[in-house]
Each structure stands twice: as structure tokens, then as C-alpha cells.
Structure 1
Amino acid sequence: MMPVDGVALSLLVLWFACFGAIVLGGLVKGTLGVGLPLVVLPLLSLLLPAPRAMGLLVMPVLLSNLWQAIEGKRLNEGLRRFGGLLVCQFVATLAAIHLTRNLSVQGFNVLLAIVVMVAVGMMAVGATFRVNPSQERWMGPLVGGVAGVMAGVSTLTGPILIAYLLALKLHKDEFIRSISIIYLLGSVPMYGTMMWYGRFGWTEVALSCLALIPMFVGLRMGRLLRHRLSETVFRRLLLGLLTALSVLLITK
């Protein structure tokens, strides 16, 4: 038997680690409707350069959100309700990516650290905050603008969007449908603009197609688990996810 080369072994371990991280992200996404980039991106960033980690999530993020948005139906209702949020998120995402395109690595890290601190604060507020229907008209666009800035810097739009939708007190199926629509329509311009400015390339996008396999494995497992959860347990798991992510983001 030929000895295993050290480099080949390292690559094999790396592939298994990436596979496991994406299955875990898919499991959380299938169960709670959120968490794929929030869980996987910090984990992959420990193994790969941050831009490559972002690129590897392109296809899993797009297709998982498309699936859950279609599965939830009533797309027109979601588009009407969150139209202002989506428009502001779109504009802010393009502006943030454009303004940070020439940042040095050090400057990008500083900006990312600021985003992380803001995200943690929003998680803490979102756990107890409640948005009334009368406040939704102006708060939705505001949340969309902040989410767009966070997307342009790090792709991590989840913290503020999760906190906002939790504050709306949505039913679990409505929550998953709404967050999937927002993620899907926010991800297309975000990833397209990042590719335009060279944050990552077609190599990462092609590799992200391979990431669909572990993503769908986790997604199906999570979907089966979700139907066994009550509304109370569902919200507790979401709050637990926010708490765990806040710790992960701070330590990252």
C-alpha cells in the first residue's frame, strides 16, 4: 500500500471539514429557515480565506432560499409586505460593495469587526423588541438599508433580518417564507456585484456547485425536524441560534 502524502491527507481533511460544516448549515437552515451562511461562513473562514469561503456559498445560499421561498408559496404577499425593505437592501448592498472595493485587507478586517459588533447588538435587541404594524412601514426600509451595508461588507445579513422578523412575531412557516424571499432577492445583487469587483471568481462559484450536495442533505434533515417543532420550541431555537452566533462572531 502506498503511503498517504501529507498534502493529500491535509486536503482530504479540509474537504471533510468543509462538507461537515455545510451539512450543519443545511440542517440549521432546513429547521429554522435561516443559518446557512451564518453558521457556515465563520466555520469555513477558519479553514479558507474569507473571500473564497463567501464564494463557496453562492449556489447553496441561492438554491436553498429559492426552494424555501417556493415551498412557502404566497410569494406576492411577501413581496408586497417587504418591498420597501428589499429596495433599500438592494441599494445599500451595491453602495457598500462599491465603497469598499479598494479597501486593504487590514481596512476590510476593521470594517468586518464593526459589522460583527453591530450584529451582536442587533441580536440582543431583537430578542425582546416588538414591531407593531404601524412601525413596520418605516422600520422595514431602515432594516433593509442596514442589512444591505452588512451584506456589502461581509454577506452576513442574517443577524438584523432575523432580529427584525422575530420582532414581527411571525408564525414559523411565515417566518421561513419571508426570510427566504428576503435572502434570495438580496443575495443575487450581492453576489453578482462581489464577482464584478473581484471578491471571488468563477472557480469558487463552480466549487460551490459541489457544496449543493451536503447542503441538500442537511436541508432535508432539517425540514423533517422542523415539522416536529411547536411554535414555542421554534422561537426558542431561533433565540438560541442568535445567542450562539453572537458568541461565535465575537470570538471570530
Structure 2
Amino acid sequence: MLDPLVLAAIAATFLLAGFVKGVVGFGLPTVALALLTVTVGLPQAMALMLVPAFVSNVWQSVAGGGSRQVLRRIWPFLLAAAATIFIGALALTRIEVRWLSALLGVILIVYALVSLAGLRLTLTARQAVWAGPLIGAANGVLTGMTGSYVVPGVLYLQGIALPRDQLIQAMGMLFLVSTLALGAALGGNGLLEAEHGLLSAAALAPALIGMTLGQSLRRKLPEPLFRKVFFAALLALGAYIVARAVT
């Protein structure tokens, strides 16, 4: 883990992941997890992204002043998403890691295809009430198994007709509680070592630098095009992770 080339790859990964989040407002954990899985393996990637993911989503979850209103609406979903991460994380010590890596690749492919196609889940207020805990539970199990927070949780949040600013807050809340629960789950399964914590903390600097660069270039870049390139790259990376895992 302390090989200079590995350290350089980790720093470059978080610089890029931070840049993506700075431009489009999301993607730091997803990009970091996908690239680090290829570089250092899935369990280590999950541990390394904890500190940058936590710090980058604290602000996102409270910015805008409507966090109480958002929390009142989605707390059952968030509770289920956090509580079931511990169940999913048990797979890390019971299932061969390459199959969990393949599952991560499939999740990235689904997320990229749905986003590129512009598909949206649409739920009525009544449907959202009972679907929230169910989808949250599914999201938590998959997060515990793969470290990915996005499917199907983000699709649910997009489907309950939140205003744009509240949607960004809600995603920040999902990522924040998932990061905290994932850290606890990894520690409980003996997969979070002091070295991982130090490297994760060190990765915060390049992540923040990348976010700053991305934010400064946000107005100069055509965001719709950047999103298409981002999801196309995520699709290719997900396919590569699956192919690498099963061969």
C-alpha cells in the first residue's frame, strides 16, 4: 500500500474525483471507488474513500438551509439505508472479493446507462412513503457489499420530485450517513486499519484541490457534455471491472 506508485495513483484518483464533483456536483465517491478498485482492490478502496467522502458531503447535506425539511421527508429512507449497510458488509468476509467487484461493475454500468438514457423513476407521495424504506434497505445492502451509494438510492431521490437544491441536499445526506455507517461496518469486520485511515485522511488534500479546480472551471465547461463524457467513462470502467473480475 505504501509503494510510491500506489500512493501517486491514489493521489491522482482523488484529484480527478474531486474535479468531477467540482464540475457536476457529485461523483467523488463513485469515481474514487471505481478507479481504486482497479488499483488496490475493493475492500481497500472502500476504506480509502471514507474521509474524502465524509468531508465533501457534510457541506452538501446542509447547504441551502432546507435540511430540516428534507430530513423530515426522507428520514425513513436514510435510516434503512444506513442500518442495512452492516448486513451487506458481512459479504466482504464471506464472499470472494472478485464477485463483489463484479457486482460493483454492474452497478456502475446500470447507473451510467440509466443516466445516459435520461431515465427517471417517478413516485407519487403515497408510493414514496412505503418505497422509501424498501429502496433504502436495498441501497444499504449494496453499499455494504460494494461501497457504492448510488443505486437504487439516488434513483429514488430523483423520483420523489424534490426541488433541485433539496435533491442535492438529500443526496448529500444519503452519502454522508452511508459513509459513516460504512466506516463502522468495515471497522466491525476488521477491514479498517490505521494505515487506511491515514491514507484516507491524506487523500483529502488532492480531493479538495480537485474540487476547487472543478468549481473554477464549471462555468467555462459545457456541463451537459461533461456529464455525458463522465457517464460514458463510468460505463467503460464498470465494464472493465466486471471483465477483470470474472476472467
| Same fold by TM-score greater than 0.5 | yes
**Separation in structure 2 between the aligned mates of residue 137 and residue 238 of structure 1, nearest angstrom:** 31
Letter in 2 for 1:132: L
Corresponding residue for 2:109?
120
Secondary structure of the equivalent of 1:65? helix
Equivalent residues of 1:25, 1:215 under 8 A apart: yes
**Separation in structure 2 between the aligned mates of residue 204 and residue 11 of structure 1, nearest angstrom:** 14
Mark the runs of 5 or more structure 2 residues left unpaired by the alignment.
242-247
Q: Counterparts in 2 of 1:131-142, with a 5 A limit? A: 131-134=122-125, 135-142=127-134
Letter in 1 for 2:5: V
Q: Counterparts in 2 of 1:164-203, with a 5 A limit? A: 164-168=156-160, 170-203=162-195
Displacement of 1:241 in angstroms is 3.4
> Quick check: 44-53 or 111-120, which moved more?
111-120
Please give the per-residue CA displacement for 1:143-167, whole angstroms capped at 9, x wherever unaligned. 2112101111111112433333344
Counterpart pick for 1:24 among 10, 13, 16: 16
Please give the per-residue CA displacement for 1:166-220, whole angstroms capped at 9, x wherever unaligned. 4446554333222111110121111111111112212201221111110111122
| Rg larger in structure | 1
Displacement of 1:51 in angstroms is 2.1
Equivalent residues of 1:130, 1:169 under 8 A apart: no
Corresponding residue for 1:103?
94
Counterpart check, 1:84 vs 2:57: no
**Separation in structure 2 between the aligned mates of residue 139 and residue 236 of structure 1, nearest angstrom:** 33
Counterpart check, 1:163 vs 2:152: no
**Separation in structure 2 between the aligned mates of residue 34 and residue 213 of structure 1, nearest angstrom:** 17
**Separation in structure 1 between the aligned mates of residue 67 and residue 27 of structure 2, nearest angstrom:** 21
Structure 1 runs of 4+ with >6 Å offset:
none
Give the alignment's TM-score, normalised by structure 2: 0.82
Corresponding residue for 1:249?
238
Equivalent residues of 2:107, 2:151 under 8 A apart: no
Letter in 1 for 2:130: W
Counterpart pick for 1:73 among 65, 73, 77: 65
**Separation in structure 2 between the aligned mates of residue 167 and residue 48 of structure 1, nearest angstrom:** 35
**Separation in structure 2 between the aligned mates of residue 171 and residue 185 of structure 1, nearest angstrom:** 21
Corresponding residue for 1:213?
205
Counterpart pick for 1:62 among 41, 54, 59: 54
Letter in 1 for 2:176: L
Mark the runs of 5 or more structure 1 residues left unpaired by the alignment.
1-9
Please give the per-residue CA displacement for 1:68-107, whole angstroms capped at 9, x wherever unaligned. 2233332112211211211111222122223x25315xx2
Give the alignment's TM-score, normalised by structure 1: 0.81
**Separation in structure 1 between the aligned mates of residue 108 and residue 134 of structure 2, nearest angstrom:** 15
